[in-house]
Amino acid sequence: MKNKSEIIAFPDLKQAGRRDLKAPAPTRVASSSPSQKLLAWAKGKSYCLQTSGCQANVRDSEILSAYLENLKMRKEEDPLISDLVLFNTCAVRENAEVKIYGELGRLKKSAEDNPEKIIGICGCMAQEEKPMRFIKDNFPYVKLVFGIHNLDSIYTLLDACLTDEKRIFDVPSKQGEIVEGMPSLRFDKYKAFVNIMYGCDNFCTYCIVPYTRGRQRSRKIEDVVAEVNCLKAEGYKEVTLLGQNVNAYGFDLKDGVTSFSNLLEAVAKTGIDRVRFMTSHPAYFTEDVFKVMASYPNIMPALHLPLQSGSDKVLKRMNRHYDQTKYLALVKLLRSYIPDIYLSTDIIVGFPNETEEDFEETLKVCREVGYDNAFTFIYSPRDGTPAAIFPDGVSKEEKSKRFMALKDEIDKEATAAALKEVGKTVEVLFDSVSKKNDEMISGYSRHNRLVHVKSDSSLIGQIRKVKILESHTYSLIGELLDE
C-alpha cells in the first residue's frame, strides 16, 4: 500500500473563490497522448467510472471515458473487480460526500487484495479541502485525486501513479480556462449535453459550485454551434445547453454583443429537432430569451427556473439578487409568451434561521406558480461558503417537517398538472426501454414529461406522436398514433 503522498496541488477553497474578471478567461486546446508505458499497463485492464452530481459532471465523465477508452481499457460496471476505479464526485450537499465514503469503504478489501488497483477521485468533491484531507488520512488506498480543471492531464497523472510509490494529489484551485478539443464518448445516442459555459460567479451564499468549478467562462458561439452541427450530422435529435447560469452567458466575454438569446437563436437555427437549456437564473433572465423561445418550434416549451426560497429575507441572505415579486413577474411574462410552458424549480428548505413565515412564503409561491416538478433539498452547510457560518436556530425536526410539507404541496401540484395531459396528443422522443416493464418504451415529450408506451425498441431514437391515456405524478402512459 502506498503511504507517501505526492502533493502537486492540494485544494484551497480561498484561492478557488478569488476572481480576477478584468479579461475573459483564456482558451486552450487540449493535447495529450498516452505514454507507451501507460498503454502497456492498460492492455487488457478494465475501468469503472462512477458519476454523481449534475449534467456538468456527466459531460465531464463523457470526456474521461473517451480518454480511458483511447487506452483500449474495457468498461466495467462493478468497481470491486475493476483495475481502475474513478469516482467523478459531487459536493453540492453533504449526502453526496457521505455516499462516496461508503463506496470507498466497500472497496477496501479489493484494494488490499490487489495492490495494483488504482482508485481515484475527481470532480467537485476533489476540489474541497476538508474531504480531501479526510481521504488522505483515512483511505490510503485512494491513489489518485485530481480536479475539475485538469481532466486532460489524466494520462500524465496515471503515468505518475504507475511510476511513483506515492499517492498523487493534483487539484489546482484556479479560476479555470476554457479547454477545447478534449475527446468525448457520449453516453446517449440521441440526446446530448453541450457545455455553453463553465463555472459560476454568483456566489449564492449556500453554494460550493463557484469554488469547485471556478469563474464563469463562456464558450464562443461558433464553437457551440459547430458542436451542435456535428451532433445533428451524427443523428442526434436533442441538445441540452449546459451552464450554471445560462442567462449570464457571454457576460465574461465583454464584447457587448454575445448574449444567451443570440446563442439560443443560433443553436435553434441549426435545425436540430430539439433544443433545451439549463440552468436559468431568475435575476439574469431577459425578455429577449422568451421571444426567441416562442419563435422557434425546436426550442422546447420547458423551463427550469430555480426559486430556492419564496421569502425576500431569505433570498437576500442567499445572495440571489431577486425577490418574490420579481420572480412571479418573470413567470407571468414567460406565460404570456408560452402559455403552456412546463415549469420546474429547485427549492432549499431550512436555510439558516428560516422562519415559519419565510417557509410559508415559499409555499405561497409554489401554490401561485403551480410547478410541474420541483427538486427540493434540505439546506446542507458547505465548508468555505458564507452561509456555513450563519447562525441557525432551526431544529433538524422542524426542517424535516417543512421539507415533507413542501414535498406534499409539490406532489399535489404536479399530479394536477399531469392529469391535464390526459387526452392530449404529444410528441415523444423515445430513448430507452422502460425500466419497469420491458414491453414498454420510454421517452420525453416536448414539455419534458416522461411518457411510456407499449412498443418494441425499434422506435428508440425516433420522435413519434402519442395519445396520453393515463397520468401519474411524474409520468404518463400513452398509445402510439399511426403516422
Q: How far apart are CB 352 and ligand SF4 at their closest, in Å?
A: 16
Going 476 to 435 to 403 to 203, the CA torsion angle's sign is negative
How far is it, in rounded angstroms, from Cα 77 to Cα 250?
39
Residue 350's nearest CA partner among 397, 408, 386, 281 is: 397
Contact with ligand SAH (CB under 6 A): which of 59, 143, 219, 281? 281
Cβ distance to ligand F3S smaller for residue 53 or 250: 53
Contact with ligand SAH (CB under 6 A): which of 146, 206, 249, 403? 206
Q: How far apart are CB 306 and ligand SF4 at their closest, in Å?
A: 7
Q: What cell was used for 322? A: 431577486
Residue 211's nearest CA partner among 360, 56, 370, 17 is: 17
- Give residue number: closest CB to ligand F3S: 53
| Region of 205-213, 248-256, 363-371, 389-397 interacting with ligand SAH (CB under 6 A) | 205-213
How big is the site for ligand SF4, counted in residues (CB under 6 A)?
A: 10
Cβ distance to ligand F3S smaller for residue 284 or 337: 284
Q: Which residues pair with 240 in a beta bridge?
A: 193, 276
Strand ranges of the sheet holding 4-9, from the earlier edge strand across to the other edge: 4-9, 166-170, 142-146, 118-123, 84-89, 46-51, 74-75
Q: Which residues contact 213 (CB under 8 A, 6 or more apart)?
A: 56, 124, 127, 148, 176, 198, 199, 200, 244
Residue 369's nearest CA partner among 396, 395, 341, 400 is: 341
Q: How far apart are CB 16 and ligand F3S at their closest, in Å?
A: 12
Contact with ligand SAH (CB under 6 A): which of 16, 330, 348, 414? 348
Burial class (CB in 10 A: 0-12, 13-18, 19+), 181: exposed
Q: Virtual CA dihedral for 213, 52, 303, 198, nearest 10 degrees? A: 20
Q: How far apart are CB 63 and ligand SF4 at their closest, in Å?
A: 20
How big is the site for ligand F3S, counted in residues (CB under 6 A)?
A: 12
Cα 311–chain centre separation: 26
| Region of 14-22, 50-58, 134-142, 443-451 interacting with ligand F3S (CB under 6 A) | 50-58
Identity of the amino acid at 72: K
Given ligand SF4, ligand SAH, ligand F3S, none, residue 57, with its beta carbon under 5 to 8 Å by kind, binds ligand F3S
Secondary structure class of 178 (helix, strand, coil): strand
Binding mask 18-57 for ligand SF4 (x = CB under 6 A): ----------------------------------------
If phi > 0 it is left, if psi is from -120 to 50 it is alpha, else beta; for residue 417 that is alpha
Binding mask 200-219 for ligand SF4 (x = CB under 6 A): x-xxx--x-xx---------
Cβ distance to ligand SAH smaller for residue 38 or 92: 92
**Binders of ligand F3S among 114-143, rule CB under 6 A?**
124
Burial class (CB in 10 A: 0-12, 13-18, 19+), 219: buried
The answer to whether 90 contacts ligand F3S (rule: CB under 6 A) is: yes
Secondary structure class of 150 (helix, strand, coil): coil
Cβ distance to ligand F3S smaller for residue 54 or 450: 54
Q: Which residue in this structure is represented by grid cell 399530479? A: 415
Cβ distance to ligand SAH smaller for residue 69 or 201: 201
Contact with ligand SAH (CB under 6 A): which of 52, 308, 373, 442? 308
The answer to whether 148 contacts ligand SF4 (rule: CB under 6 A) is: no
Cβ distance to ligand SAH smaller for residue 93 or 166: 93
Given ligand F3S, ligand SF4, ligand SAH, none, residue 371, with its beta carbon under 5 to 8 Å by kind, binds none
The answer to whether 13 contacts ligand SF4 (rule: CB under 6 A) is: no
Given ligand SF4, ligand F3S, ligand SAH, none, residue 38, with its beta carbon under 5 to 8 Å by kind, binds none
CB pairs under 8 A, 24+ apart, for 317-321? 317/205, 317/351, 317/352, 317/387, 317/390, 318/204, 318/205, 318/206, 318/348, 318/351, 318/387, 319/202, 319/203, 319/204, 319/205, 319/386, 320/204, 320/282, 320/283, 321/202, 321/283
Contact with ligand SAH (CB under 6 A): which of 64, 132, 145, 209? 209
**Binders of ligand F3S among 55-74, rule CB under 6 A?**
56-57
Which residues of the shown chain bind ligand SAH in the complex (CB under 6 A)?
A: 92-93, 206-207, 209, 244-245, 279, 281, 306, 308, 346, 348, 377, 379-380, 382
Which residues of the shown chain bind ligand F3S in the complex (CB under 6 A)?
A: 53-54, 56-57, 90-92, 124, 208-209, 212-213
Which residues of the shown chain bind ligand SF4 in the complex (CB under 6 A)?
A: 200, 202-204, 207, 209-210, 244-245, 281
